[in-house]
Structure 1
Amino acid sequence: MKWGILGLGRIAAQFAQDLQLVDNAILHAVASRTEAKSKSFASAHDAEKYYDSYHDLLADQEVDIVYIATPHNAHMEWAIKAMEAGKHVLCEKPLAVNRQQVQSMIEASQANNVFMMEAFWTRFNPSVREIILRVKDGELGEVNFINADFSFPTNASPESRLFNLELAGGSLLDIGVYPLFLAYVLMGMPNEINASAVFHETGADEQMSAILKYDQGIAVTMSGFKSQSDMVARIYGSDGSILIDPHWHQTDGYTMIRNNKLSRHVLPPLGKGFTYEIMECHQCLSKGKIESELWSHKDSLNLIQITDKIRKKINLHYPFE
């Protein structure tokens, strides 16, 4: 399977390293807006070709699937262009910035009969997959409370992708989607959402907290760029609880508590952990699928609807919308 990468930042570098650990995965081509960066990235990660134009990579007939790691605001544009060029797509999270954009991407996947998946690597983490199965099998009884966060301090400039509203910056879409993902995948779509935020001078959300209300309980989530949280996710049910080890979104284990007895479960990931979403892409493509059953188009649509509602609650809008 020959891969191309659009957008060559820090996450793309980690992804490229993990790509080398997956059987039958070849990094064929990479593209940046500058030749120097593209050439340097290709050299560092053994890519066969490099381009200083995204269009040129999409025109490369040998590329089977494209990993899109551009800033959030460019996800829809380049994912759709890739699919219209006949390429399969793995697009970084968030898949897009709002429901309308995600819907357009899903329609492009269907119209061109190509695979597309949001790169929600946490969904494929071995520990998280096992936890989801145990919860679904009722080992915790009815889950009634989730407490998860993702927060770290940063001195990033106002022009950085973290704080630039033109790039859909802010903690919600960058890291807040992780705790929201956990609530969604374990408890489903909430009946009610309350949210509040602290804003950066640029207008981006620097810190955000949301309470998701369900018939059976609540989920409390937080994301931010102001402090380092413990990054332990906590799942509570009527018959037990699970604590996911830090950093929980890329964890290598968890503790399960039932009947006042603790059991440890350790599942070290292969590489950084991007390996598993890569494997999922390969498996889906081998079966001729255009979406994953583990993280479907509908799942991406549901999650972005949750973030849309939170943005409405905290009055967060992006200039390009």
Structure 2
Amino acid sequence: MKNYNWATLGCGVIANELAQAMAAHGRTLYGVANRTHSKAVDFAKKYGVTKVYDQIEDIFSDPEVDIIYISTPHNTHIKYLRQALAAGKHVLCEKSITLNAAELTEAKQLAEKNNVILAEAMTLYHMPIYKELAEVIASGRLGELRMLQLNFGSYKDYDMTNRFFNPELAGGALLDIGVYALSFARWFMSQKPDKVASQVKLAPSGVDEQAGILLQNEASEMATLALTLHAKQPKRGMVAFDKGYIEIYEYPRGQKATITYTADGGQEVIESGATADALFYEVTDMEQAVSGGQNVMHLDYSTDVMEIMTELRRDWGLVYPEEK
């Protein structure tokens, strides 16, 4: 496979994790761009990055760049996606990939027009444990899927100016942590949910700080999701079938699952992959897609999730400044 040149747009927490994941496998980022140039310079020195761009726009016109990882705030994604895709760059974009379904449709059309790969950096789609569990489920030994339960809770300082609660930065629980829970549900459900109900608690700033979500699809598979930025919860995913249930903790980057069988209570533990390699799994799957191999980036699932999140926010009356 070709050696692809990756460049990161943004040099925050995720970009650091990306650089560290690549370094652990003998790889180095080619380029870095950031709104604050000095931070990009420091990032490049820290990780041995070859190219630092004076202007963000320069990353899109560099012919040496093959793939751009966008890790800027949610509400800037579509702006950069437009530029990157129009320039013929493949893009792996941090979740949530866009603010809403209309933006994602536009980005997908641009990617198709320019014959490039667009994907959301949703770690759980690429963790080996989920690929192994898919084989277990396909074997039929767990029976039919009935119900999923998802928890994701964080305790954040109740400061309306930080990114979690700030509408100017597309804050809120849904786009930040809910996207993981919905992606987990979509991975296991055989069809996109077509019935969506919810309850929400809005923060003083107007964004969602806590929500309960209920999903159902035409196959009568159901999921319940509990999200909060106000209380710590375990990142627990439970998938219940006729003949047993699967439990995964720390599911966004899970590496271990426990299957409990209904008939006798017996348990089977499956371990696969490593949490520390989460971003490198994304890199390798993305490069496979770019090279013309099997595309396992699951943009179709990202689209379903984005459509659900857009519907939920419409029901809540939650509109970000860019959408007005």
Same fold per TM (> 0.5)?
A: yes
The answer to whether the aligner puts 1:16 opposite 2:36 as a matched pair is no
1:228 aligns with 2:232: yes
Q: Who is 2:220 aligned against? A: 216
Tell me the TM-score normalised to structure 2 length.
0.92
Say if 1:136 and 1:53 are closer, same or farther in 2 by CA, change over 3 A: farther
Deviations 1:80-134 (A, max 9, x none): 2011112111111111111110000001101111111111111111112222332
What displacement does 1:212 show?
Answer: 0.5
Q: Deviations over 1:185-211 (max 9, x none)?
A: 211211311111111111111111101
Q: 1:222 to 1:295 in 2, by over 3 A?
A: farther
Question: Relative to structure 1, is the Cα distance of residues 193 and 30 closer, same or farther in structure 2, using a 3 angstrom cutoff?
Answer: same
Checking the alignment, whether the CA contact within 8 Å between 2:150 and 2:236 is kept in structure 1 is yes
Q: Which residue of 2 aligns with 1:139?
A: 141
2:251 equivalent to 1:240: no
Q: TM-score, normalised by structure 1?
A: 0.93
Alignment pair present for 1:88 and 2:90: yes
Contact 2:132–2:272 under 8 Å retained in 1? no
Query: Match of 1:274, SS?
Result: helix
CA RMSD of aligned residues (A): 1.7
SS of the residue 1:30 aligns to = strand
Change (3 A) 1:153 1:122: same
Aligned runs of 1:32-71 on 2, under 5 Å? 32-71=34-73
Structure 2 letter corresponding to 1:218: M
Deviations 1:137-192 (A, max 9, x none): 33321111100121110116322221111221101011101111111121121131
Query: Aligned to 1:206, which of 206, 209, 215?
Result: 209
- Equivalence map 1:1-321=2 (5 Å): 1-22=4-25, 25-155=27-157, 157-187=159-189, 188-214=191-217, 215-244=219-248, 246-258=249-261, 259=263, 260-269=265-274, 271-287=276-292, 293-321=295-323
Moved more, 37-46 or 293-302: 293-302
* Residue identity opposite 2:200 in structure 1: A
2:183–2:302 Cα contact (<8 Å) kept:
no
Q: Report how far residue 270 of structure 1 moved.
A: 6.4
Percent of aligned positions that are identical: 30
In the alignment, the residues of structure 1 paired with residue 252 and residue 302 of structure 2 have an alpha-carbon distance, to the nearest angstrom, of 17
Q: Secondary structure at the match of 2:64?
A: coil
**What SS is found at the alignment partner of 1:15?**
helix
Q: Distance in 2 between matches of 1:178 and 1:136?
A: 23
The letter of the residue matching 1:16 is: A
Work out whether residues 142 and 216 of structure 1, in 8 Å CA contact, stay in contact via their aligned partners in 2.
Answer: no
Q: Which region of structure 1 is more displaced relative to structure 2, 219-228 or 13-22? A: 13-22
Cα pair 1:156 1:162 within 8 Å, conserved: no
CA distance in 1, matches of 2:41, 2:320: 33
> Could you tell me whether the CA contact under 8 Å between 2:289 and 2:297 is conserved in 1?
no
Give yes or no for contact 2:19–2:28 (8 Å, CA) kept in 1.
Answer: no
Contact 1:135-1:186 at 8 Å conserved across structures:
no
Contact persistence 1:143–1:216 (CA under 8 A): no
Gaps of 5+ in 2: none
Contact 2:160/2:205 (8 A) holds in 1:
yes
Q: Which runs of 4+ in 1 moved over 4 A?
A: none
Give, in angstroms, the shift of residue 52 of structure 1: 4.0
The number of residue pairs the alignment matches comes to 316
> Equivalent residue of 2:82, what SS?
helix
The more displaced of 181-190 and 294-303 is: 294-303
Query: Partners in 1 of 2:269 and 2:101 — Cα distance?
Result: 39
Counterpart of 2:238 in structure 1: which amino acid?
A: R
